[in-house]
Amino acid sequence: MKRSTILFCWIMIGAVGMWTACQQASGEDKKGFSATIEAVKQQYAPDKRVAIFDIEAVREGGQWVLKGETNLPPAREELRSRLRQAGAAFEDRIALLPAAELGDSIFAVVNNSVAN
């Protein structure tokens, strides 16, 4: 009885340790994605009035997904390149603006003197 109790305790300690390690690893992944996204944003679009770079990394079904939008194709490629070099696995759902379905209608008239 005493041996089975000790064995059970060791198994529980190991399980808790593995669970904690997995939680920390997934947190580090999020930090890594966020840091890379922020670095690319600072390089290509430091001012949100000049360029659009609104991208985030979310975990969906055990896989990282990049969601958002940008009007800078080189920034999108730089982000993808940096993440691939880091060995990160992700799905790209970043929309490039202006959207293709707009066709030639990519200009507008704004009646506000301080519009971006």
pLDDT tens for 13-32 read 655 454 444 444 444 478 88
> Mean pLDDT over all residues of the chain?
80
- Of 96 and 99, the structure prediction assigns the larger pLDDT to 96
Taking the chain, what is the end-to-end CA distance rounded to the nearest angstrom? 74
Q: What global pTM score does this model have?
A: 0.66
86: three-class secondary structure by DSSP: coil
Residue 90 near residue 65, CB atoms below 8 Å: yes
pLDDT tens for 46-82 read 998 889 999 999 999 888 999 999 999 999 999 999 9
Indicate whether 104 pLDDT > 90.
Answer: no
Per-residue model confidence (pLDDT) at position 42: 95
Burial of 37: CB neighbours in 10 Å, binned 0-12, 13-18, 19+:
buried
Beta bridge partners of 92: 66
Q: CA 80, 83, 84, 86: dihedral to nearest 10 degrees? A: 160
Residue 41 near residue 69, CB atoms below 8 Å: no
